[in-house]
Structure 1
């Protein structure tokens, strides 16, 4: 006992948590999170789903989710968010289609077809909004919801993929691809976890949130 309250012991809890995240977050966070749970809280089970930002917020409010990972630029008052990490963007293209040094000018970048990774093919994401501010638009040749396969579309094509920097950390096997900085001003974004305020003081939920923070940091 501590201060009249029972200390929380994650090793003793038996509970199922419902999480939502993209396959980008799944790749970055889930392996470390699962290993941590198996070692320190083996009685915790995870049910992981994928949804758009808006859908995740609706599910949090409805009590259908315990925790959601995403960008969440705006949230309802009942939803709490916590930053996990911040990062920027990187472009990928086949080496044969770009100069030996550097990347592409904005005009050349816009002349090329692009791959968009988004749950909705008509998504107006951060890149589209940045382009709109300067009166530009890119051609989306392929729109798909899967981060994991997006880079596989680039070799031997003229396609360009612009994604979060940590999203390409696993792509060392693509010797025929080159990374370069986007030729337009793209602000860094902050990836967050969100939950409903009714779970603020739930000891197990609080422990899980802190564990997600720890497992989200770069290695």
Structure 2
């Protein structure tokens, strides 16, 4: 193995729980419950799907909303919640261990580069990565493999020479389609999803030795 490639949202920092919570609170203002199972279908991709949060809320209350007002209010709540988040357990140890082993380190995120840079900076991890591959740099979002293929290209490696770390089904599908050994590390939003496509599933990177992961990936 020559590289570790990490998803960002929900994998390095749990931005997904704060985002869901901000939407849940917004829905509650209108007396509507936001089902977690419905929300989970969106995680890990920016590709439009059957569920669009504003449209779904409008369908439940039977009228149009001032989306800009809602967006501003909800985003403020979300950003406050994200600001309190730290790197997920095991992330910093894996970054340090990867560097000690001479592995390249990259991010492959469906989110836009400014978002990823901002939140990596907030947790003092931006400089730990050799490259960022983000959703605004590719044509297709996860579950298409584009962003993982871009990360491998930036690192100058073949996709099979990287281990991908993901928290979502869309992300796992993308990494596997790119030809990477893929580890699923679910967060509270995705813990109940089916990750059978992943090569390995663990509750936390803190409970998985990097050397063992490399061995399982074929060295």
TM class by smaller structure? 0.3 to 0.5
Q: Using structure 1 for the length normalisation, give the TM-score.
A: 0.34
Higher helix proportion = 2
Q: Using structure 2 for the length normalisation, give the TM-score.
A: 0.34
Whose RCO is larger (CA < 8 A, sep 6+)?
1
Higher strand proportion = 1
